[in-house]
Amino acid sequence: EEVTPLALQKVLYFIKGFSKPILKEEIFNDSAEAWVHGPVYKEIYDCFSYYKYNNINYSNILKDYDYNLTEEEKQYIKEISLLFGCYNGNVLKEMSHLTEPWLKARSGLKDDESSNRFIEDKDMDDYFKKICKKYSIKNIKDISKYSNDLFKNAIDKLNLKK
């Protein structure tokens, strides 16, 4: 229910990542850039950046918009949002930093070095296909095994930074 622009970007990353293996097609065709704080969909970032670190007020934004999504796509987005949206932006950032597509796109850059390199769609497809195989993910509900493991690894990484 409470989502900052940082969290939104990371949830979108996982929504897109699992869409091909689960829905058999991309839910949207935008590519993320590999920014310092994780994957960013620039057009969406520009729309919500004025919220800065505050929660996005969806009631004003979503009420009259027709998204042209199927019921299956709506349910998919809802489920992925529940699996990943329960974490705050900083945890989601660390979770995204553990994924191969983001790491590959950031290869050779310093941790704090700005970049607008794109995360390649093929890298996304290969990684999330591999994750689905590793975790025996056949449907949306199965993704919780992966999200739980990724969360634990992100928390361990955050604890090491302290």
pLDDT per residue as tens digits for the range 62-101: 555 567 889 999 899 999 999 999 999 999 999 999 999 9
What's phi and psi for 45, nearest 5 deg?
-55, -45
The pLDDT score that the predictor gives to residue 64 is: 53
**Short-list 27, 36, 35, 42, CA closest to 81:** 27
Q: Could you tell me the two tokens for 70? A: 């199927």
pLDDT at residue number 59:
65
Closest C-alpha among 106, 111, 101 to residue 17: 101
- Cβ atoms 32, 40 nearer than 8 A: yes
pTM, two decimal places: 0.94
Low-confidence residues of the chain: pLDDT under 50: none
Determine the pLDDT at residue 73: 93
Specify the pLDDT at position 61.
Answer: 63
The whole-number pLDDT of residue 60 equals 62
Q: Phi/psi at 83 (nearest 5 deg)?
A: -70, -35
- pLDDT value at residue 161: 82
